[in-house]
Structure 1
Amino acid sequence: MGYIGTFGTATTAPEHYCTSLGTPRWSGIHESDFTVDLEKDLRYFIEIEASRMGNNDRVQGCVGENQQFFHEQFLGGWPHKLWLECYQSGISEKPNQMPDFDEVWPPMPI
């Protein structure tokens, strides 16, 4: 996936574009134009994307690189706080581990 974006300001959402998902409805919107539905979309985006970026940064050895995305004052600060929380969660996620071969072989009788 390719991303294009800018950091948000105290009054506007960041501009964001993803080659596979397109441009979210909230991208670049002034906070006075936010609706309940846009806030739900934004919350869902943050929960998914911040965790993914945190995990990717840990794997690539560049933790902190994508830690900032929303201005601390935008929408009363909740997007910034949620982003940090989800980013940290992504950093601490352990990769799925495959069981040892000896644990699954020979297969159990049916």
Structure 2
Amino acid sequence: MSHVPIATDWDWPLQHNDGIVHVRHTDDKFEVGLDASFFTPKEIDVKVNGRELVIHLRHEERDGQFGAVRREVHRTYHLPEDIDEKTVKSHLNASGVLNITAEKKK
């Protein structure tokens, strides 16, 4: 049985275009992509705590063009019941997009 992917919008304060994270929840998997270009891989923590997806991005104060800047974002989202939380993986691509994927329960 196949159905149309479910797209859910999440609030994400660092998106450059619209402030929204688009989530794709299909028959095969669960995917999230969000802008993390202000952070290095060492400053990004993605983990699963029970059925919760916990995303924490933080960098210490840095001197910028207009003064000191410190950024921190912490979000927790409930994983859908049909997702295998043991398969959650994250990857930061060269464009600064943090991709989080998980497989469906078998």
- Using structure 2 for the length normalisation, give the TM-score: 0.26
Q: Which has the higher helix share?
A: 1
- Using structure 1 for the length normalisation, give the TM-score: 0.25
Q: Which has the higher strand share?
A: 2
